[in-house]
Chains A and B, each alone.
Chain A
């Protein structure tokens, strides 16, 4: 990827208050454990 000549380069520091990354997906709900029911 040609982003330009290296001699045009300058450094920037970006320190966001919150990183722009979505929160992890919620874990799928677990199936409720069914207690054995006497027949």
Chain B
């Protein structure tokens, strides 16, 4: 089903990123695709080995993924880390992860062609909206804030 008219407000959804150092800079990196880093100050564009820049494509699994709610992103984090604590307000409640392996949870703006499902989205373009750093210190939060020019809250 396609919408008849384009909307102008980006969708804001939730997702996770790894935070890894590339050369001299820390970068957000895809949570499920290793070594796919998100560029700073320019949009991240979906690419597909089958459909190229046409991603996301119906009937396929390509595109930039995000969840509709923070709870769904937290659930993925719990399954990934084995952490059982509830992730609520304030965000400092999240326990630190393994040293040197920080993770970011946060909101992400989505736009372009978007395929919406019951729990989330596959999008054509994305950029971080704000980030909550887990397992990272204030200095790393400052570095990400300067690099991506979005709010970053340390854990």
Listed in ascending order, the chain A residues whose CB lies under 8 Å from chain B are: 1-6, 8-17, 19-25
Cβ of B31 and Cβ of A14 under 8 Å apart?
Answer: no
CA distance A8 to B122 in the complex (A): 12
Give the total number of A-B pairs whose CB atoms are below 8 A apart: 106
CA distance A30 to B42 in the complex (A): 24
Within 8 Å by CB of A4, from B31, B42, B110, B120, lies B120
Cβ of A3 and Cβ of B7 under 8 Å apart?
Answer: no
Cβ of B129 and Cβ of A20 under 8 Å apart?
Answer: yes
Listed in ascending order, the chain B residues whose CB lies under 8 Å from chain A are: 1-3, 5-11, 15, 31-32, 41-43, 58-59, 65-68, 76, 109-122, 125, 127, 129, 146, 148-150
A37 to chain B, nearest CB (A): 36
Within 8 Å by CB of A16, from B10, B67, B117, lies B10
CA distance A5 to B5 in the complex (A): 25
**Closest 4 interchain pairs by CB?**
A3-B120, A22-B149, A4-B117, A4-B118
Cβ of A2 and Cβ of B148 under 8 Å apart?
Answer: no
Residues of A within 8 A of B68 (CB): 3
B151 to chain A, nearest CB (A): 11
Cβ of A1 and Cβ of B109 under 8 Å apart?
Answer: no
A5 to chain B, nearest CB (A): 7
Q: List 9 A-B contacts (CB under 8 A).
A: A1-B76, A1-B120, A4-B119, A11-B3, A11-B116, A15-B7, A19-B125, A19-B127, A25-B41
